Amino acid sequence: MFAETSEGRFAGLYDLAFNPVLRRVHHATLQLAQKYDCHSIIDLGSGTGAQARVLTNHGFTVTGIDSSTKMIEFAQRKSHGSIRFIQSDITSFMLTDSTFDAANICLVLHPNPLEIIVKILNKTKNLVTPDGVVFITDYGKGTGFSGKMANGIIRFIESLAQKNHSKNYFSFIEQNGIEMLSTIPSIKIIEKKMYYHGALQTYVISFLP
């Protein structure tokens, strides 16, 4: 994870550009949190706080973690005080006063190499209760014409990102995108949701003992 993400420089435009695309994800994550009877949720890579605000507005207690100072500052300005935002790298921050019913990880895995993805997942395991769930949203391989078109648009956008981000995205896709989670022995996949014909997907997972 990087100390200051390239996205952080454009925090003010991030919601305008991505919220219309991610609105379905925000709503689906809310429904999942309700379905699995979550109460406290940690949002890892919380960005501008859009998902945290949706969850908080429906009665959940949310803590947001993001490595970008600018993203955290923007999220705090847009959110009311009941949301706790912490500026920190996901893999190294220390939080000893809370254990969460659930974690949310949206578009956080693909900008990172595999070894950092594993560290993020290990950190997440330590943050949720033994019977807790994790909602992971990231890119997959779309099906049909519409899915392939969506993949093409995503590839173009990701090719314009910071060099390491772009490189890691293409490596992530070569490893089957979010479907790589099915190869990790310590993870149980509970259910999946797909958007844009599979170009974007949410996995609900738990960690095996």
Domain residue spans in the chain? 6-207
pLDDT per residue as tens digits for the range 24-73: 999 999 999 999 999 999 999 999 999 999 999 999 999 999 999 999 99
pLDDT of residue 161: 87
Complete edge-to-edge strand list for the sheet that includes strand 128-139: 84-87, 61-66, 40-44, 100-106, 128-139, 200-207, 187-195
Residue 106's nearest CA partner among 24, 184, 13, 197 is: 24
Q: What is 6-207's CATH superfamily?
A: Vaccinia Virus protein VP39 (3.40.50.150)
- Residue 66 contacts by C-beta under 8 Å, 6 or more apart in sequence? 45, 46, 47, 72, 75, 85, 86, 87, 88
- Position 30 scores a pLDDT of 98
What percent of the chain clears pLDDT 70, i.e. is strictly above it?
Answer: 90
> Length of the chain, please?
209
For strand 200-207 and strand 128-139, is the pairing parallel, antiparallel, or unpaired?
Answer: antiparallel
Phi, psi values for residue 146, rounded to 5°: -65, -40
Q: What is the pLDDT of residue 4?
A: 46
Whole-number average pLDDT of the chain: 91
At 82 the pLDDT is 84
At residue 1, the pLDDT reads 43
Give SS3 for 177: helix
